[in-house]
């Protein structure tokens, strides 16, 4: 009963609970118990953040990052992400890394991005682990090391990061850090595709088109590309167009 939950969160918040302010903000943001109200959610997150609540700081940063309930402001987002990140909150550490990587609110700095991703990764945060894998695969801010990339991708997968299936699959596809194995790549792409990962769907389509690790099958390739395209994967949209030619 979300309405009753909101009632008691309100009481707890009035007695000084910043956790209750965050919980109530989530109900407003998600529209549980009442209509969605991102502005009220943002106000509640700020109340919690001003009290030093780590999750409140992170959630408020997300609102500024996306312009949800408040005007979009990357610098303000970065300020609040950092407050939570320095306390060791892994989701904020990942987002600080993203801000440095994509130059949102701060100048681009791949070394700082890597360092923040690593702080999250060593806590077992799967997005941080996968991003560290990317940095080792492409040699961003560190020496290129495919085996190290494989290790981090595998850890990310073990912690539930579905998109790591595609990343590992491509290591097998191109023989990077592991022996080239098209059959294993297809198995990984198929697992990712079954979980609606658009990159896995796209890469599986490519394996069908080229007959790598599986029998060439343009019909299956089209279905795989088309499903990925429906998830707004631009590479798949291009591949669908090519098959129509």
Q: Which residue has the tokens 């998600």?
A: 30
* Span 156-171, average pLDDT: 98
pLDDT-above-70 percentage for the chain: 100
Instruction: Tell me the two tokens of residue 173.
Output: 């596809």
pLDDT band at residue 188 using 50, 70 and 90 as cut-offs = very high
Q: Which of 198, 202, 220, 223 is nearest to 211 (CA)?
A: 220
Rounded Cα distance, 50 and 57, in Å: 8
Under a CB-based contact definition with an 8 Å cutoff, are residues 114 and 97 in contact?
yes
Mean pLDDT calculated for residue range 171-198: 98
Give the chain's mean pLDDT.
97
Q: What is the pLDDT of residue 128?
A: 98
Helix axes 146-158, 126-138, angle to 10 degrees: 160
State how far the Cα of 238 lies from the Cα of 224, in Å rounded to an integer. Answer: 13
From the list 84, 31, 37, the residue with the least C-alpha distance to 59 is 84
Per-residue pLDDT of 11-25, as tens digits, reads: 999 999 999 999 999
- Residue 152 CA: distances (Å) to CA of 61, 85, 129, 205, 211: 27, 21, 5, 25, 29
Q: What is the pLDDT of residue 104?
A: 96
| Helix pair angle (54-66, 38-50), 10° resolution | 140
Per the CB < 8 A criterion, the answer to whether 28 and 40 are in contact is yes
pLDDT of residue 224: 98
Q: Which residues contact 153 (CB under 8 A, 6 or more apart)?
A: 129, 130, 133, 164, 167, 168, 171
Could you tell me the pLDDT band of residue 203, with boundaries at 50, 70 and 90? very high
- Residue 245 in this model has a pLDDT that exceeds 90: no
Q: Over 90: is that where the pLDDT of 34 sits? A: no
Rg over alpha carbons for the chain, rounded to the nearest Å, is: 21
């Amino acid at each position: 009963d979300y309405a009753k939950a909101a009632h008691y969160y309100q009481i707890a918040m009035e007695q000084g609970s910043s956790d209750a302010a965050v919980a109530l903000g989530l109900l407003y943001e998600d529209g549980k118990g009442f209509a969605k109200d991102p502005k009220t959610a943002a106000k509640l997150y700020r109340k919690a953040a001003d009290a030093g609540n780590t999750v409140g700081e992170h959630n408020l940063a997300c609102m500024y990052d996306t312009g949800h309930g408040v005007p979009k402001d990357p610098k303000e987002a970065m300020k609040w992400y950092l407050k939570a990140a320095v306390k060791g909150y892994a989701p904020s550490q990942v987002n600080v890394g993203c801000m440095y990587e994509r130059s949102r609110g701060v100048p681009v700095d791949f070394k700082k991005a890597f360092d923040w991703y690593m702080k999250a990764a060593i806590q077992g945060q799967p997005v941080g682990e996968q991003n560290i894998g990317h940095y080792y695969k492409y040699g961003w801010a560190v020496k290129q090391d495919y085996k190290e990339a494989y290790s981090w991708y595998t850890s990310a997968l073990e912690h539930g990061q579905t998109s790591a299936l595609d990343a590992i699959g491509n290591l097998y596809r191109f023989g990077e850090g592991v022996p080239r194995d098209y059959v294993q790549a297809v198995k990984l792409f198929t697992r990712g595709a079954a979980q609606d990962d658009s990159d896995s769907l796209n890469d599986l389509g490519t394996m069908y088109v080229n007959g790598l690790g599986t029998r060439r099958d343009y019909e299956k390739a089209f279905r795989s590309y088309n499903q990925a395209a429906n998830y707004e994967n631009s590479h798949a949209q291009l591949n669908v167009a090519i098959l129509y030619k």
